[in-house]
Amino acid sequence: MNRIYLDNAATTPMDRAVIDAMLPMMESSFGNPSSIHTHGREVRNTIERARKSIAGLLNTSPAEIFFTSGGTEADNTAIVRSIEDFGITHAITSRLEHHAVLHTLEYMAKKGKIKLSYVELDDKGHIDLTHLEVLLRDNPKTLVSLMHGNNEIGNLLDLNVVGQLCEDYGAIFHSDTVQTMAHYRHDLQQLKIDFLVGAAHKFHGPKGIGFLYINAKSKITPFIHGGSQERNMRGGTENVYGIVGLAKALEIAYSGMDEHRKHVEALKARMIHRLSTELDGIEFNGDSANLERSLYTVLNVSFPPSEEADMFLFNLDINKISASGGSACTSGSDIGSHVLTALNVSPERPSVRFSFSKYNTVEEIDYVVDKLVSILKVTA
Ligand SMILES: Cc1ncc(COP(=O)(O)O)c(C=O)c1O
């Protein structure tokens, strides 16, 4: 068995067709898109074609799509610029957000720009919508930043419901959609949202390229100052091959989405079933085992405490399995998962996040479960 990659929420292998689409941009179409000669204009046209394709898939206008260096920059731009440009004095988020959101909001709070509220969670880690409404009702000029799909436990948020609440209370709504982009359809004519984001490396595209959707009604000023690129919204020569790869990866994802989803969902269901029936003391973190309310690409498993708990991921690695995880933070330490800590998962229990892609197979899942069974039998 070749090495098995089950860490697709961290990053995905690139699709061969994406690499093929990018190669000409490195080999021959090397002009600077800001140059007005033919070399430059050709590349500018390529960028605009990519933007149009992405906008078309998301059912929005190309004028609302801005390329960034990835998810982190897109999140930072939306949060920092909307707080400063719209006179936001209060932000609502959850303790389960990615650090691209949490650390940015905490920084803005530390600078005295906003008061930061954390919405309460239910015992599975879902947002308490009643509490969200209380926080919205009691505070004017609010930014809500809540992720669509959690990168560690997979919990999904209903963007329609939160978008409607934000509209009802006049709040700005940003969602970190890095883990759902290209895995679920986002229809921006239907969604009531100001900002959402994508990162190509999470859907078989290249690293270091992403985008920010900015609703035309929520215009912000630049986060990165410089040249007039991205219609004066982000200075810096464009990552042309990245942009081409991003658009190609999104096109491939949209054209095969239903089929890939069915395949990956079946892998996840098989793993849940085999782990629950063949191993004692298994738990699933958050709502990870709920196929309706969690990402089909993520399964976060909590294993019984054992002496070898610290060595668990290493043990998987030497058995040719790449997965990630760890455990909740022990008291007084911030090493470990802030998400599992917020969910009160015991730090004694090793947790592993298995995350799947269209390239994984039933044979791989069976091999991984067999290995887990033998590792745990040995350590028991
Ligand atoms: C939910 C979420 N948000 C943001 C990011 C950051 O994206 P990028 O690596 O493109 O900066 C990630 C990537 O790990 C993520 O999973």
Q: Tens digit of pLDDT for each residue in 181-220?
A: 999 999 999 999 999 999 999 999 999 999 999 999 999 9
The verdict on the CB of residue 148 being under 6 Å from ligand 1 is no
Give the closest residue (by CA) to ligand 1 atom 8: 71
Output the pLDDT for position 325: 82
The verdict on the CB of residue 151 being under 6 Å from ligand 1 is yes
Share of the chain above pLDDT 70, in %: 96
Pairing assessment for the beta strands 65-68 and 90-93 based on DSSP bridges: unpaired
The verdict on the CB of residue 68 being under 6 Å from ligand 1 is no
166 flagged as catalytic: no
For ligand 1, the distance from its centroid to the CA atom of residue 101, given in whole angstroms, is 9
Output the pLDDT for position 102: 98
Which residue of the set 131, 329, 367, 371 is catalytic?
329
Q: Tens digit of pLDDT for each residue in 125-151?
A: 999 999 999 999 988 899 999 999 999
Output the pLDDT for position 334: 59
**Residue in 354, 380, 359, 358 with CA at minimum distance from that of residue 369:** 354
For ligand 1, the distance from its centroid to the CA atom of residue 70, given in whole angstroms, is 7
**Residue in 279, 297, 275 with CA at minimum distance from that of residue 288:** 297
Q: Which residues of the chain have a pLDDT value below 70?
A: 309-310, 326-328, 330-334, 378-380
Please give the Cα distance from 207 to 77 (Å, whole number).
Answer: 18
For ligand 1, the distance from its centroid to the CA atom of residue 151, given in whole angstroms, is 8
Flag whether the pTM goes above 0.75: yes
Output the pLDDT for position 120: 98
Output the pLDDT for position 375: 86
Please give the Cα distance from 19 to 229 (Å, whole number).
Answer: 25
The verdict on the CB of residue 58 being under 6 Å from ligand 1 is no
**From the CB of residue 164, how many other CB atoms can be counted at a distance below 10 Å?**
14
Please give the Cα distance from 225 to 235 (Å, whole number).
Answer: 5
Amino acid occupying residue 250: L
For ligand 1, the distance from its centroid to the CA atom of residue 183, given in whole angstroms, is 15
Output the pLDDT for position 137: 96
What atom of ligand 1 comes closest to residue 10's alpha carbon? 14
Q: Name the DSSP letter for residue 200.
A: G
Output the pLDDT for position 376: 84
The verdict on the CB of residue 98 being under 6 Å from ligand 1 is yes
The verdict on the CB of residue 71 being under 6 Å from ligand 1 is yes
